[in-house]
């Protein structure tokens, strides 16, 4: 039933990109360490580097790469200079970095770029239009698309992780250029098809992470579409649902929810619970005091800072995961940057790997804990896209995917 929602989209084999000037939209929006400014996890950069190498070396294309990074006002809203260094290292291609997006410097560099060469533009969100969501027809009329579009022959979208955004660089270019999905994008769609084929019950969603607003939206969709048989909540998402249930999480943790602007989400979480949604919340947490002492505390009697799920929650959640047919995981259970608080996340990942379920790992920090060499790729898919993946699984359409399908009708006569 759900697989019908995946439109047929063109890929590199469907169009001639040899020697062409290509705009390649990637998603190298990566976690940045707020203290050092260093890239904390470069998985997305590694996977997209392969696409760049392919376009440059196999197709001899002139490849202009564009990506966003962070959002204005956030500490990870930075230039892509360091990303360029890593892209060079992983692709082996001498990628030029241009500190501009659509101004005269960028346009001159794009026009002069020769076949078999690559160039990375700076953070696309330095252009404010890029953050506005609108329908493709409107995005085709933005300055970004009008200024850059005429400089290209083909648009390749490899940014599956941003496919849930209807922004100019994702949905505007397909309206003005012949467009295809890149290999990273296509692999994700293929994994979704496989997940849908195996949509037997029980389907367990294990959800945490820091993008709590997005996650509440995902859960609302999951509940409406009845895709999830059980939703195991982790991290701040779990704390939000505990508060919505009227369970105390300790003053310090409540203050954190407030500081992060999450208190306003409580009524939405309550509405989800009132609908009888299959939401599970932790029964204990690993907590830490000011001196750094760690111990497990039961929910309802939390006095210290929450850092991970506790032992009892690990066994309860692992039990659900082991019996599942499909497991979809997104976000970590604790503060995994600190070795002491990785146990919850690692144990749940182990339970998923030991099960017979089809496992989809939704990007981010969680993916960095998976040893990709040792997994059975037929049964486990590590996605670059976290929320895009979840929103699609829960029944939302992905604007960037729809735009590629529309473009195929307009330019390829599909
Ligand atoms: C992501 O990491 O989910 C994508 O890169 C989209 O980023 P955004 O949530 O800032 O739009």
Is 386's C-beta closer than 6 angstroms to any atom of ligand 1? Answer: yes
Does pLDDT of 1 surpass 70? no
Is 165's C-beta closer than 6 angstroms to any atom of ligand 1? Answer: yes
Helix 251-259 / helix 235-244 crossing angle, nearest 10 deg: 110
Does pLDDT of 316 surpass 50? yes
What would you measure as the largest C-alpha separation in the chain, in angstroms? 66
| CA separation for the pair 289, 305 (Å, rounded) | 7
pTM: predicted TM-score of the whole model, two decimal places: 0.86
Is 130's C-beta closer than 6 angstroms to any atom of ligand 1? Answer: no
- Kindly report the protein residue whose alpha carbon is nearest to atom 10 of ligand 1: 70
Cβ neighbours of residue 330 under 8 Å, at least 6 residues apart?
205, 206, 207, 208, 209, 215, 361, 362, 363, 364, 366, 386, 387, 389, 390
DSSP state, residue 229: S
Pairing of strands 294-298, 305-309: unpaired
| CA separation for the pair 12, 355 (Å, rounded) | 35
- 236-263 per-position pLDDT tens digit: 999 999 999 999 999 999 999 999 999 9
- Does domain 12-185+397-412 fall under CATH 3.40.50.1260? My reply is yes
CATH superfamily of 201-324+333-368: Phosphoglycerate kinase, N-terminal domain (3.40.50.1260)
Residue range(s) of every CATH 3.40.50.1260 domain in the chain: 12-185+397-412, 201-324+333-368
Atom of ligand 1 nearest to the CA of 363: 2
What number is the average pLDDT over the span 107-123? 98
Q: Which of 27, 161, 162, 386 to probe ligand 1 with, by most ligand atoms within 8 A of CB?
A: 162
Atom of ligand 1 nearest to the CA of 71: 10
DSSP state, residue 63: E
Task: State the average pLDDT for the chain.
Answer: 94
Of 61, 147, 62, 153, whose CA–CA distance to 100 is shortest?
A: 147
Cβ neighbours of residue 264 under 8 Å, at least 6 residues apart?
none
Does pLDDT of 363 surpass 90? no
Is 163's C-beta closer than 6 angstroms to any atom of ligand 1? Answer: no
More confident residue, 348 or 214: 348
Of 186, 176, 136, 180, whose CA–CA distance to 410 is shortest?
A: 176
């Amino acid at each position: 039933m759900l697989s019908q929602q995946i439109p047929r989209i063109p890929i590199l084999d469907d169009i001639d990109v040899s020697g062409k000037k290509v705009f390649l939209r990637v998603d190298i929006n990566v976690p940045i360490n707020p203290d050092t400014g260093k890239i904390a996890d470069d998985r997305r950069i590694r996977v997209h580097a392969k696409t760049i190498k392919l376009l440059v070396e196999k197709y001899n294309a002139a490849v202009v790469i564009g990506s966003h990074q962070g959002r204005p006002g956030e500490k990870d809203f930075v230039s892509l200079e360091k990303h360029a260094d890593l892209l060079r290292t992983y692709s082996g291609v001498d990628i030029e970095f241009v500190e501009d997006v659509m101004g005269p410097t960028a346009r001159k560099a794009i026009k002069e770029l020769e076949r078999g060469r690559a160039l990375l533009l700076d953070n696309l969100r330095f252009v404010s239009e890029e953050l506005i969501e609108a329908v493709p027809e409107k995005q085709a009329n933005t300055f970004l698309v009008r200024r850059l579009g005429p400089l290209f022959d083909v648009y390749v979208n490899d940014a599956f992780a941003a496919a849930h955004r209807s922004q100019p660089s994702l949905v505007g270019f397909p309206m003005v250029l012949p467009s295809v999905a890149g290999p990273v994008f296509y692999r994700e769609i293929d994994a979704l098809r496989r997940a849908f084929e195996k949509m037997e019950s029980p389907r367990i969603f294990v959800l945490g992470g820091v993008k709590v607003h997005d996650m509440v939206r995902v859960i609302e969709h999951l509940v409406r579409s009845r895709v999830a048989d059980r939703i195991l909540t982790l991290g701040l998402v779990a704390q939000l649902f505990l508060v919505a249930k009227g369970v105390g999480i300790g003053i310090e943790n409540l203050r954190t929810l407030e500081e992060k602007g999450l208190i306003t989400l409580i009524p939405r979480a309550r509405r989800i619970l009132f609908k009888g949604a299959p939401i599970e919340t932790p029964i204990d947490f690993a907590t830490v005091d000011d001196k750094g002492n760690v111990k497990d505390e039961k929910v309802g009697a939390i006095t210290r800072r929450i850092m991970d799920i506790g032992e009892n929650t690990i066994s309860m959640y692992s039990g659900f995961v082991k019996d599942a047919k499909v497991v979809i995981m997104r976000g970590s259970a604790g503060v995994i940057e600190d070795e002491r608080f990785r146990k919850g996340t690692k144990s749940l990942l182990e339970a998923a790997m030991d099960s017979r379920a089809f496992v989809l790992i939704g990007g981010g920090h969680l993916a960095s804990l998976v040893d990709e060499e040792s997994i059975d790729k037929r049964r486990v898919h590590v996605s670059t896209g976290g929320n895009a993946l979840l929103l699609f699984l829960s029944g939302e359409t992905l604007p960037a995917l729809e735009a590629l399908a529309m473009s195929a009708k307009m330019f390829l006569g599909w």
